[in-house]
Amino acid sequence: MDKRELIARRVAQEMRDGYYVNLGIGIPTLVPNYLPRGIEVIMQSENGMLGIGPYPYEGEEDPDLVNAGKEPVTEIPGCCYFSSADSFAMIRGGHMDVCVLGALQVDEKGNLANWAVPGKMLKGMGGAMDLVAGTKRVIVAMEHAAKDGAPKIVKKCALPLTGLEVVDLIVTDLAVIEVTPKGLLLREVAPGITPEAVQKITEPALLRAPDLKTISI
Amino acid sequence: MDKRVANADAVIGRVRDGATILMGAFGLCGVPENLISALLRQGTKNLTVVSNNPGTDGFGVGLLIENRQVKKMIASYVGSNKFFEKLVLSGEIEMELNPQGTLAERMRAAGAGIPAFFTPTGYGTMVAEGKEVREFKGRPHVLEPSLRGDFAFIKAWKGDRWGNLVYRKTARNFHAVMATAADYVIAEVEEMVDLGGLDPDGVHTPGIFVDAIFQGTNYVKPMEPGPKRKRDEG
């Protein structure tokens, strides 16, 4: 299975009926494809929409209807629209259940760096700082290591931070790791991957859950 | 009471060099196209523009940037405009990045008579540098000042001569909050209706916030690219 699909499928298992969810760009956008059957999860878009539908058919795009990535989308029955101020009252006021974001680095305290790419001009944080500060549960969905093999789960983030002690769960192509007050807890490993192999490309020492499981899709 | 004016050119003369203008839109969604065109024709300079994004190369706020009318941009994400990036790197334009929710809340506060507020957003990050921090219920919060404009450029779907406005779908975005936070608020609408033509329960921006209103013309409403569904995918 494709790495990105594995991550999205595992994140989808975290969703519960009735959740209000905000998804970041990249891997998180794949999550709705794999939601468990029989549950209703409402997707929020921070530009002012609850109830995002699938992408439109060619020729049926509406310039007044876009997602937070500015792509044309559609609405589902029960959808509603609101202003940016109301949208961020939902996000900053603790009304959103889950947000799923990508990351450049996450550290053992749950600090997150995901908005400033090294060596490039700052492009802006968009709504990411608000989302990680205000959402009840923050899930990072990312490949375990960078393209050059460098760990992305580090002892201390070196890149500019998005939020301090904000991450609750890290889902990668190799493992599911929970951020706990005692440190990073390895809960699940991908099929065919040993805990030692995960540790090898993870900078901080991982605690091992007594009931360590294999990711089951 | 009649807040109607003929068109954008009839009010744009109020905007002088150095003004701060709040401009609604999210990317290319909900751009006040007529007001931006009139400001381009007028050539007003040294503007501070507050908008979630600097438009794109060739559209929206991007046109004012290309015409070198903007001195400073306050935004939350600027990755959609290459020319803007070039001007930032060469020091020809000033950029202030705000978290998107902080940007909205700074204007909401301005509109509601709140000079500043504490938020946990951005604590411990670059955006909190130099700002007062105070703990509430054991959690550190950053003091953020309200943000007011001399003008707000608002684009709505429908409006009436009292300035009541209705937006369409996600084109509402920052417009509704910006309309509350400027000294002089100009609204352009796709359709002007008679008084009573808007459902009073469905008005998004009450007319009290609006100073001038006109029906816009020749909307382009371009779209940014994105994936499309194929017919056989269902």
Give the distance from residue A199's alpha carbon to the nearest chain B alpha carbon, in angstroms.
28
* Residues of chain B contacting A87 with CB distance shorter than 8 Å: 101, 104
Backbone angles phi, psi at A47, to 5 degrees: -75, -5
The residue count for chain B: 234
Cα–Cα–Cα angle for A151, A175, A216, rounded to 5 degrees:
160
* Among chain A residues, CA nearest to B140: A164
Q: Identify the active-site residue in A14, A46, A108, A188.
A: A46
Sheet holding B139-145, edge to edge: B116-119, B139-145, B133-136
Q: CB B120 to CB A134 under 8 A? A: yes
Lowest mean pLDDT among A120-124, A185-189, B203-207: A120-124
Question: What is the 3-class SS of A82-106, one letter each residue?
Answer: CCHHHHHHHHHCCCCCEEEECCCEE
Cα–Cα–Cα angle for A204, A131, A73, rounded to 5 degrees:
120
Which of B52, B169, B224 comes nearest A62 by C-beta?
B169
Per residue in A21-59, pLDDT tens? 999 999 999 999 999 999 999 999 999 999 999 999 999
pLDDT at residue A66 is higher than 80: yes
- Give the span between the Cα atoms of A120 and A104, in whole angstroms: 14
Give the distance from residue B154's alpha carbon to the nearest chain A alpha carbon, in angstroms.
13
Q: CB B101 to CB A134 under 8 A? A: yes
- Give the span between the Cα atoms of B25 and B175, in whole angstroms: 7
Per residue in B85-136, pLDDT tens? 999 999 999 999 999 999 999 999 999 999 999 999 999 999 999 999 999 9
The enclosing H or E element of A185 equals: strand A183-189
What Rg do the C-alpha atoms of chain B give, in angstroms?
18
pLDDT at residue A177 is higher than 70: yes
Q: What is the interface pTM, i.e. ipTM, of the complex? A: 0.96
Q: Report, as an integer, the average pLDDT of B166-170.
A: 98
Do the beta carbons of residue A198 and residue A189 sit within 8 Å? Answer: yes
- Give the span between the Cα atoms of B201 and B102, in whole angstroms: 28
Give the distance from residue B228's alpha carbon to the nearest chain A alpha carbon, in angstroms.
5
Give the distance from residue B103's alpha carbon to the nearest chain A alpha carbon, in angstroms.
9
DSSP state, B92? S
Do the beta carbons of residue B50 and residue B21 sit within 8 Å? Answer: yes
> In the numeric block, which tokens belong to residue A54?
């699938």
Confidence of residue B230 (pLDDT cuts 50, 70, 90): confident
- Give the span between the Cα atoms of B99 and A165, in whole angstroms: 17
> In the numeric block, which tokens belong to residue B89?
């790197």
Per residue in B29-84, pLDDT tens? 999 999 999 999 999 999 999 999 999 999 999 999 999 999 999 999 999 999 99
pLDDT at residue B234 is higher than 80: no
Q: Report, as an integer, the average pLDDT of B195-200.
A: 98
Per residue in B200-225, pLDDT tens? 999 999 999 999 999 999 999 999 99
Q: What pLDDT was estimated at residue A119?
A: 85
Q: CB B121 to CB A55 under 8 A? A: no
Do the beta carbons of residue B73 and residue A123 sit within 8 Å? Answer: no
Q: What pLDDT was estimated at residue A118?
A: 79
Q: Active-site residue A46, yes or no?
A: yes
Q: CB B125 to CB A161 under 8 A? A: yes
**Mean pLDDT score of chain A:** 97
Q: CB A133 to CB B121 under 8 A? A: yes
- Give the span between the Cα atoms of A161 and B222, in whole angstroms: 34
* Residues of chain B contacting A123 with CB distance shorter than 8 Å: 77-79
Q: Would you give the distance in Å from CA A166 to the centre of its chain? A: 12
* Residues of chain A contacting B124 with CB distance shorter than 8 Å: 111, 161, 163-164
Nearest C-alpha neighbor of B214 from the set B185, B179, B172: B185
pTM above 0.95, yes or no: yes
pLDDT at residue B193 is higher than 90: yes
CA distances from B16 to B13, B19, B20, B151 (A): 7, 6, 9, 10
Q: What pLDDT was estimated at residue B233?
A: 56
